[in-house]
A and B are shown apart, each in its own frame.
Chain A
Amino acid sequence: MTMQCVKQEMKSRYVFRCNGQNIWLMLICLGCVAFQSMWPVHAADQVITRDKTLFGKIEAVTSEAVRLLRRGSTADLQEINVSDILMIQFDEEPQELIEAKRRLVKKEFEAALHAVEKINENQIEESSVAVRGEYAYVQAVAAGRIAMETADGIPSSLRRVEKVIDQFTRSIHHYELLELAGDLEVAQGRADKAQEFYDKMIEGPPLIALRARRLSGNVLASEDRHLEAIRTFEKVQSENLDLNGVEQEKMAACLDQATSLIALRRSDEAVLCIQEMLLREFPEEVPVSSAEELLGKAYSVLGQSFIETGKNQEALIAYLTVDLVYNTDPNIHAESLLQLIELWTRGGYPRRAAEAREKLVNSYPENEAATQFDSSPE
């Protein structure tokens, strides 16, 4: 029993004797005791899905699923699809690697890289293939995503990702790495190479294949082949799959389609497309953070569409929704603030424009747009 728990227990007993009412503290303490008896549960592999954490022994890992012998079970292996897995964790993994993966899940790539840098490489070299694979994966993805954000060091990051793909062929991160490789190729303007990676994803489970098709649409869009891209996005949206995550992919496809429509100066259609999407309900399995991010993007694209069609007040409301409600993506939020400065100014609200400007400068001082403004109050 930990010292904290002992103190808690003493306190609860004292309080209980004093007034006989504060039973909650005692219950907390009892909970604490109960938790102690479950302590060994930590000494196990873990598979963390969107809604639960499964403990046991990971018996096999492929690029499509993980087989887990659940704690307490002796025979049946449970197979968990890659699409449902947020993270796996091996008993022998260094704590820093686990922390790095947690950061990766939260898309805190710098922090992930920082955590993984603390790991003693000798320790990793002595670990199992699986752990080595996880280590290489974190390094590759964190570095790759940072490279994408900063547009710096993309070729070397790509080489690293490719190396990990070749080296750890049975990793559960196989498709994620393929996607990243494709994204890095797109960032370098090499659409054909990107398409090769996305094509490999199509061989994966249905959800990943669907995602790959959407990403292929993005490749087409990056080459200004918007009509073809739109057809691809429409196909993705018309898919009839009953799987977790499909609805999210469809929504993303809708936004990508809207972006292509804007590029083709068919902003009215883009507005309709997004408005229709916004009427739909998010499936429960979609994490709040993902939903908020997607909605932030949706309102941002909607704002852009309205601006294109000259509907400034509607655009203002869309960008206000990003600013005040769905502001989790820094880039999209900064962009919306920038648009708000312009829209408030045009609308004859200089004070509100100044507020938006101040918020942009204070929240994102490193943002390129923010640096254009002098932060001193008017």
Chain B
Amino acid sequence: MLEHSSLRLITGLGEKGYHDTSVVVLDKLLKNKAISNSFRMKIPLLRAIERVAGVRESSDWVQRKQAYEEARNDLEHLLEEQQEQSLLADAAFQLGMVFLDTGRLYKNAVTPEYKDSSEAHKFFVLAVETFVGPRSGQTALKAFENEIQVVEDNIHSYRKQRIATSGDRRAITQLEQRREILRGRKMQVQLLAAESFSEMAECFEQNSEEWEQSLEKALQRYRAVYEATPNRSAGIWAKLEEGKTLLALDRQKDGQDVLLDITKLASSEGLIYQLRVKAVDALLSMWLGTASLGDDKNFDERLRQFVLRDSTAYHSDADALSMKFGAAELLHRRLEASSSTPEATRDTLLADIRILARDVAKNGGIHAVSARNLLKKLGRKDAAFAGRLSQGFMASYQHAEEVLSQYRKNPTESKRLEAFVELQQVLKIAPAQRAEDEGRKREQLSLLRYQLALLFYEDKRYHEAIALGELLTKDSAYDPVRKRAAILTLATWQALSGQKNPDWSDDAVTHMGDTASFIMRRWPRDQCSVDAAAVSLDVAVRNGSFQAIEAVIQDLAQSSPRRDEVLLRAGLSMWHLCQNSTNGQTGKISLPRRECFQRAIRALDEGLLGIGGRSVLEGTVLEVAVAAAVARCEIAVLGMNEDSLDLFSLLTHAKYGPWHVLQDSSIKLPSQMYEPGLRACLQSFVKVGRYDLARQALGALSANVSSSKESRLRLVGTCVAIGEKIINAVQEHKQQHDAASLQHETFEEKAELLGELLDLVKETTQQIDVLSWVALTFGRLGVSSDVLGPGVRDDKQKFFLTQSGKTIEQILLSSELQRDAQTSWRRELITVRSSLGQWSEAVKQMQIILSDTKNARSPFLQKDAADLLQTAAKSSLGLEQSQEYFRAAVGGSRVMFAAGESVMWGWGGLANRVSKVAFGEHSDRSRTMRRMYFESRFRLATCRLEWAQRETDVDTKVALLRDAEADIKIESQLHPSFGGVEFEEKFQGLRVAIQQEFLKISEGSK
């Protein structure tokens, strides 16, 4: 297990480029007594590989040389001692590689001090000998052949078995795979040997005998590999090298044929495609080197289309660029030599050259400068293109920044378009442009891409903005750009969430949530995280998901400096869902409503506690805090929480208390916050019994309510609800306590508030049902006998009654009111006017009621009218007025109105009118009418007595008293029992009163 783990660790370290650490690990393993011998034997090999790999990219010539020498010693030592075939093969291969690398080290040394062709030659020879021999010791080729043989023997022995188990079959498969690998390695060493010869030639003077011999040997070996495996990649590679070597040896016809064969292979990608590119590139180099144009005739239409092909996968591949540039040059050569050819042919040539040269110039590489020079020869536009490309990246970047800055200063359509074009152009040519600091260039490119995404966003090209934004969010190595891109992506998804297609919109909402979540995880302590949380909360609310809101809270780091703000937003969202919940459930999860409230409370309380600790609250933070405090008040008012919230303290909190903040004219909050805020203040002050402040809140609320119908309706609803609440509370209190115990002071304040609520409602709405409530409640406040009446000062009572009357008059003006309802309201108005002592007004209303023919025939209304007249007569201050009322009460009256005549029967008329029914057939009606008859007769006599009492003239007094006496007498004759004991006693009592009045007169006359 240790060895297995260690090998995997070495591989992993190698992949990361930590070769030095690999060497340390291997050294430690070597000292570990617990490892097996076979593993121990591998360590020098692995160590050598790691040492060489560790210096391969180093620019320190001496260090590399030293590392190669050490590796050589280790490997040679291993080859001498080692017997195990696979280890031998690997060691020989690695030793060959070390020799090859050492030869290259001498051959390619930049410093003349180290450059040494003879040393290089020596190592190339050693490399060849180690790879393929001849050598006294083990060669890599031989070692691989031996191992292949061992593997084949094993396969053979397994196959010889008559019955193969599943384990055997597995072993055979593994062996066959191993054999394939070994065959590949065998080819590889042969190719490396050929390559060593090829590189060895460079150690000699060109065209010298040694040079030619080296290349010939390389040629033979390449040819051998190809012939051994003509259909495998290694074989084709060898053929390519064969072709190139032939060209190098100046055997152009042969080389051309070999390379043309490769170009005809059918593959548009992968290794074979790359080999085709290399072959064409080699051919183009050869053709460009020839003097005669006729020599490149094999660059036909097929090859021309091949080089023009735009293969994205190999866009910046050095061979592909080299091939394209070679083709451009060759075609340009043809163009210059084709003055007599048709214009169309020349145009086609020019177009192809332009495509190829631009491609090479754009993608950079060693041919970019030459490609730009070529473009300059093609025409003005191409020269301009080349000019832009030749600028350094910084110049392009600054140009793009300038264009963007101009657009920001003057954001017109044309400037945006210009910015678009310039940005895209810079991004297109940037890869080919040089920069002093490549790291900085990458960062600036990221920034430009972000700016482009922003332009897309501003241009409402949201999908393009998202594509770019998400790319930067995912891939940009620069955190600030990455963050800005993430925020832009979030905003763009937000914009797309408003799409008309519901599926697309839902999809955008989902992405919005994902992006917000990513931002919160990635930059938990950043401002953007709080914004993202706000977006997540919006999404959660939109989805009605309580759970998602809680998830947002959980996602946010505890240490986030603005966690309090998110908690408040979350609490607000929860409260929103609570308010919109139905059937006792909230959102899409099965949480009892009370539990939802509790969770909202927890979030709000924790958030308010946190935010209260901040030194200053302003802007959006203040808005959120106030909104949260308002929500918290609303919950408290609903009575859903059982905690001991100090509502008054919350309302008046110095930093976010809604009452404190909303009253402060120096603080400007969004206008839509005032109405709900003041409403919450009003309700809360009522709840805590601060009616004085509640009145102030009501005043502020009415001043802040907009003229929109909805706002006015809300205001009316609030007032009615609060009014009802106060009334109910008073009634409950009355039921529970003796009325006397009511504290007048408190009730006075309540009555004041109630009155103001009613006033406000009256002025705000025309709804009959609401006005009815107002009128009746005003009326109740003005009457001492009502539960609301006691404790209200007299002057206030009168005021309330007047308001009630005015409200009723307002109701009566409504065209919607039915006749019956009109009568009812006029009767209410009569009561109000009567209570206020406004008798003429009261009587007038009664006359209006009775001007309706149907009403006039009603004995009940006539009874009320007679009663009203009698009461008015008694209560009127002036005698004349009193006499008029008494007269009408006794004998009735007639008045003409525009609508018709109003007839009041008076007590006498009433008795006459009902007598027929009263003494007709026995029925319920007759019983009622009989009672009304006796009542009328009794009231007639009473009325005369009262009139007499009011009169100052003795004769009139006596006459009235006699009439009264006569009324009783007649009644006793007509109905001796007076219809029952009740009225008999009443009549007897009246008779006594009349006699006493006579007595008073006679005594007065003495």
Contact = CB atoms under 8 A, between A and B. Distances in A.
Interface of A: 275, 278-282, 295, 299, 313-314, 316-317, 320-321, 323-326, 352, 355, 365-366, 371, 374-377
B713 interface: no
Given A366-B521, A371-B524, A377-B477, A324 B1 contact: no
Contacts of B25: 317
Nearest to A326: B5
Interface string B1-24: 110010011001100101001001
B8 A280 contact: no
Interface residue SS majority, chain A? helix
Nearest to A251: B1
A313 B477 CA distance: 30
Nearest to B525: A371
A365 B523 CA distance: 9
A334 to B, nearest CB: 14
A284 to B, nearest CB: 12
Central interface residue in A275, A314, A365, by most chain B CB within 10 Å: A365
B11 to A, nearest CB: 8
A323 to B, nearest CB: 8
Contact of B5 (A295, A316, A376): A295
Contacts of B18: 320, 352
Interface of B: 1-2, 5, 8-9, 12-13, 16, 18, 21, 24-25, 28, 34, 477-480, 521-522, 524-525, 557, 559
Contacts of B522: 365, 375
The 6 A-B pairs with the shortest beta carbon distances in the complex, nearest first, are A324-B12, A376-B479, A325-B8, A365-B521, A278-B2, A321-B9
15 contacts: A281-B1, A295-B1, A317-B24, A317-B25, A320-B13, A321-B5, A324-B16, A325-B8, A325-B12, A371-B525, A374-B479, A375-B479, A375-B522, A376-B480, A377-B478
A317 B28 contact: yes
Contacts of B478: 376-377
B2 A324 contact: no
Nearest to A352: B18
Contacts of B21: 316-317, 320
Nearest to A327: B12
Contacts of A323: 12
A371 B557 contact: yes
A280 B1 contact: yes
Contact of A324 (B8, B479, B525): B8
Contacts, number: 58
Contacts of B8: 324-325
Nearest to A325: B8
Nearest to A276: B34
A275 B32 CA distance: 11
Given A278-B2, A365-B522, A325 B9 contact: yes
Nearest to A278: B2
Nearest to A313: B24
A377 B559 CA distance: 23
A81 to B, nearest CB: 25
Nearest to A317: B25
A137 B521 CA distance: 32
A145 to B, nearest CB: 17
A102 to B, nearest CB: 24
A355 B5 CA distance: 22
A355 B18 CA distance: 12
Contacts of B13: 320, 324
Contacts of A377: 477-479
A174 B288 CA distance: 82
Given A320-B12, A324-B13, A365-B522, 18 more contacts: A278-B1, A278-B2, A279-B1, A279-B2, A316-B21, A317-B9, A317-B25, A320-B13, A320-B21, A324-B9, A325-B12, A326-B5, A371-B525, A375-B522, A376-B478, A376-B479, A376-B480, A377-B477
B440 to A, nearest CB: 12
A275 B521 CA distance: 38
Contacts of A278: 1-2, 5
A352 B17 CA distance: 10
Contacts of B521: 365-366
Contacts of A355: 16
A373 to B, nearest CB: 11
Contacts of A281: 1
A324 B25 CA distance: 14
Nearest to A366: B521
A366 B521 CA distance: 6
A23 to B, nearest CB: 18
Nearest to B477: A377
B424 to A, nearest CB: 27
Nearest to A375: B479
B1 A320 contact: no
Nearest to B24: A313
Nearest to B21: A320
Central interface residue in B16, B21, B25, by most chain A CB within 10 Å: B21
Nearest to B12: A324
A279 B36 CA distance: 10
B556 to A, nearest CB: 11
B517 to A, nearest CB: 10
B769 to A, nearest CB: 46
Contacts of A320: 9, 12-13, 18, 21
A360 to B, nearest CB: 13
A31 B521 CA distance: 48
Central interface residue in B9, B28, B34, by most chain A CB within 10 Å: B9
A290 to B, nearest CB: 14
Contacts of A374: 479
Contacts of A314: 28
A279 B18 CA distance: 25
B446 to A, nearest CB: 12
A321 B1 CA distance: 13
Contact of A279 (B34, B479, B480): B34
A365 B524 CA distance: 9
A317 B27 CA distance: 12
B929 to A, nearest CB: 69
A303 to B, nearest CB: 13
A144 B28 CA distance: 43
Contacts of B559: 371
A352 B18 CA distance: 9
A320 B8 CA distance: 11
B322 to A, nearest CB: 34
Contacts of A375: 479, 522
A295 B1 CA distance: 9
Contacts of B525: 371
Contacts of A279: 1-2, 34
B2 to A, nearest CB: 5
Nearest to B559: A371
Nearest to A358: B477
A282 B1 contact: yes
A295 B21 CA distance: 21
A74 B13 CA distance: 57
Central interface residue in A282, A314, A375, by most chain B CB within 10 Å: A375
A366 B1 CA distance: 33
A143 to B, nearest CB: 14
Nearest to A321: B9
A215 B25 CA distance: 35
Contacts of B28: 314, 317
B844 to A, nearest CB: 72
Contacts of A317: 9, 21, 24-25, 28
Nearest to B10: A324
A136 B9 CA distance: 43
B1 to A, nearest CB: 6
A275 B24 contact: no
Central interface residue in A282, A299, A320, A352, by most chain B CB within 10 Å: A320
Nearest to A299: B5
Contacts of A321: 5, 9
A168 B870 CA distance: 88
Nearest to A152: B554
A316 B25 CA distance: 10
